[in-house]
């Protein structure tokens, strides 16, 4: 195995510094992950088992816990910059849950699910000869040197048959009485891709809901969106010049891959987000536990 350049990556040093100075922070994050793994089945057991409940709990809340677990792993190993990627996704997923619970819960949960199925259907159509999706897929692959021939090599009988079966199953589901109206809402455009699942056209004085920022504003969480979510997005979209290179007095300094700069700030942000999110889930499904939850984490 190749040894890392010690100025760029000193795993042992970062691990020791985290253990020495932020061991309790890592313990708290790990405890919040463990709490979430127990929260999901308990809340589902207490739910009415309506359509929205598995979307909220088994999909989105679980996704929050998945990303919190990833965040904890990054922090535990001193990868503070990389931890901002799961932090961004975690915040976004909590907004989705809050948006679904805010109003019209069943319809919004169905829109989320139907949108996912439509994406799966579109991907399956890419493998089926004669479809517009397949034509675009082949053209895109042939215009990309390292993917040339990939689309046609995926044209074996078995993948095509599986894709056709997937499309048929999804079409039956989307045409069912519970989802046909929601599915038709996505058919207002002739573009190749659907708008986001949460999209709502402008109604009266209300703004069009076409971005996460508008949702954050409607949920009175715009300040979070403008401050730390935008910062997390910079890392996600590779717009973090100063985190990699510092230029002072004509001298360029390459920054290490892992460092602890900002660890206290980002951990406070993520913990605060998770505390509020867990309380929101408890208030919906197990309100009698909210006081105990508050007491546990205050202590």
Q: Is residue 177 domain-resident? A: yes
Mean pLDDT, the chain, rounded, equals: 90
d(CA 259, CA 14): 7
Neighbours of 165 (CB within 10 A): 11
Q: Is residue 2 domain-resident? A: no
Q: Is residue 3 domain-resident? A: no
Sign of CA dihedral 75, 81, 85, 91: positive
Q: Is residue 179 domain-resident? A: yes
Q: For tokens 């929101």, what's the residue? A: 280
Neighbours of 251 (CB within 10 A): 7
d(CA 175, CA 203): 27
d(CA 125, CA 163): 7
Closest CA to 222 of 233, 212, 231: 212
* Per-residue pLDDT at 193: 73
Q: Is residue 21 domain-resident? A: yes
User: Average pLDDT for residues 91-119, to the nearest whole number?
Assistant: 96
Quote the number of domains for the chain: 1
d(CA 290, CA 282): 6
Which residue did the predictor score with more confidence, 41 or 177? 41
The answer for residues whose C-beta is within 8 angstroms of residue 52's C-beta and 6 or more apart is: 100, 105, 106, 108, 109, 110
CA dihedral (172, 174, 179, 183) in degrees, to 10, reads -160
Q: Is residue 271 domain-resident? A: yes
| pLDDT tens digits along 200-256 | 887 776 788 889 999 999 999 998 888 888 888 887 778 777 777 778 888 887 888
Model confidence at 273, in pLDDT bands (50, 70, 90)?
A: very high
Q: Is residue 53 domain-resident? A: yes
CB 77 within 8 A of CB 258: yes
d(CA 86, CA 68): 7
Q: Is residue 227 domain-resident? A: yes
Q: Which uninterrupted H or E stretch holds 248? A: strand 245-248
Q: Which uninterrupted H or E stretch holds 44? A: helix 23-46
Question: Domain residues for 174?
Answer: 11-298
d(CA 195, CA 185): 10
d(CA 115, CA 198): 9
| pLDDT tens digits along 153-187 | 655 567 889 999 999 999 999 999 889 999 988 87
């Amino acid at each position: 195995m190749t040894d890392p350049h010690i100025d760029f990556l000193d795993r042992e040093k970062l691990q020791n510094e985290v253990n020495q100075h932020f061991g309790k922070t890592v313990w708290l994050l790990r405890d919040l992950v463990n709490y979430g793994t127990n929260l999901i089945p308990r809340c589902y057991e207490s739910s009415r088992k309506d359509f929205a409940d598995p979307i909220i709990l088994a999909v989105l809340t679980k996704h929050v816990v998945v990303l919190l677990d990833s965040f904890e792993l990054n922090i535990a190993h001193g990868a503070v910059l990389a931890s901002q990627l799961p932090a961004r996704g975690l915040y976004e997923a909590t907004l989705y849950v809050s948006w679904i619970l805010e109003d019209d819960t069943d319809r919004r949960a169905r829109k989320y699910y139907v949108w996912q199925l439509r994406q799966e259907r579109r991907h399956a159509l890419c493998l089926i000869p004669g479809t517009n999706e397949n034509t675009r897929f082949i053209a895109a692959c042939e215009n990309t040197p390292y993917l040339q021939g990939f689309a046609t090599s995926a044209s074996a009988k078995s993948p095509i048959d599986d894709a056709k079966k997937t499309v048929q199953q999804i079409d039956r589901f989307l045409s069912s009485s519970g989802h046909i109206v929601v599915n038709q809402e996505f058919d207002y455009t002739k573009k190749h891709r659907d708008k986001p699942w949460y999209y709502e056209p402008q109604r009266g004085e209300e703004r069009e809901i076409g971005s996460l920022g508008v949702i954050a504003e409607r949920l009175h969480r715009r300040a979070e969106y403008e401050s730390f979510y935008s910062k997390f997005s910079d890392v996600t979209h590779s717009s973090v010049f100063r985190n990699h290179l510092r230029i002072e007095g004509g001298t360029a300094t390459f920054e290490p891959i892992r460092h602890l700069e900002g660890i206290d700030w980002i951990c406070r942000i993520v913990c605060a987000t998770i505390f509020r999110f867990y309380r929101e889930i408890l208030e919906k499904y197990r309100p009698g536990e909210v006081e105990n939850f508050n007491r546990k984490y205050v202590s």
